[in-house]
A and B are shown apart, each in its own frame.
Chain A
Amino acid sequence: MGFDQYHEPPDELPTDTRTFARLCASLTEEAEAIGWYQQRLAVEPDPEARAIMLDAQGEEFKHFSMDLEFLLRRTPTWRAIAEGIIFQPGDIVENGEEAEAEVGEGEPGADGPQRDASGSLGIGSLRGSAR
Chain B
Amino acid sequence: MNHLLRPLAPVSDSGWKLLDDEATERLTAALAARKLVEFSGPHGWEHSATNLGRASALASAPCEGIVATQRRVLPLAELRAGFKVSLSELRDHDRGAVDVDLADLDDAAHRIARAENIAVFHGWEDAGVAGIAEASPHRTVSLGENTDAFPRPVAAAVELLLRAGIAGPYALALGREEYTRVVETAEHGGYPLWEHLRRIIEGPIVWAPGVRGAIVLSLRGGDFLYESGQDLSIGYESHDSEFVHLYLEESFSFLVATPEAAVALNA
CB A102 to nearest CB in B, in angstroms, measures: 14
The answer to whether A130 and B231 have CB atoms under 8 Å apart is no
User: CA A123 – CA B39 in complex, angstroms?
Assistant: 11
Q: Establish whether residues B45 and A121, one from each chain, have CB atoms under 8 Å apart when the complex forms.
A: no
Tell me whether B171 and A124 are in contact (CB under 8 A): no
If A120-B232, A121-B234 touch, whether A126 touches B42 (CB-CB below 8 Å) is no
Structural contact, A127 and B28, CB atoms closer than 8 A: no
B27 located at the interface, meaning its Cβ lies under 8 Å from any Cβ of chain A in the complex: yes
A119-B6 contact, Cβ under 8 Å, with A106-B13, A124-B228: yes
Q: Is A125 an interface residue (CB 8 A)?
A: yes
A124 touches B233 (CB 8 A): no
Q: How far is the CA of A126 from the CA of B226 in the complex (A)?
A: 12
| Interface size of B in residues (CB-CB distance below 8 Å) | 33
> Are A127's CB and B34's CB within 8 A?
yes
Say yes or no for B241: interface residue by CB 8 A criterion: no
Contacts of B171 in A (CB 8 A): 130
Binding site of A, secondary structure by majority: helix, strand, loop or mixed? loop
A111 located at the interface, meaning its Cβ lies under 8 Å from any Cβ of chain B in the complex: yes
Cβ of B230 under 8 Å from chain A:
yes
Q: Does A129 contact B (CB under 8 A)?
A: yes
Smallest Cβ distance from A69 to chain B, in angstroms?
Answer: 15
- A127:B38 contact, CB within 8 angstroms: yes
- A60 close to chain B: CB less than 8 A: no
* Residues in A whose Cβ lies below 8 Å from that of B39: 124-127
B24 at the interface (CB under 8 A from A): yes
Residue B80 CB within 8 A of the other chain: no
A28 to chain B, nearest CB (A): 26
Q: Given A118-B233, A123-B27: A111 and B17 within 8 A (CB)?
A: yes
Question: Contact: B35 with A122, CB < 8 Å?
Answer: no
Which residues 74-131 of A have a CB within 8 angstroms of B? 104, 106, 111, 114-116, 118-127, 129-131
Q: B24's contact among A123, A129, A130, A131, by CB below 8 Å, is which? A: A123
Taking beta carbons and an 8 Å cutoff, which residues of A are in contact with B? Answer: 14, 104, 106, 111, 114-116, 118-127, 129-131
- Show the binding face of B for A, using Cβ within 8 Å: 2, 4, 6, 13, 17, 20, 23-24, 27-28, 31, 34-39, 41-42, 44-45, 171, 204-206, 219, 228, 230-235
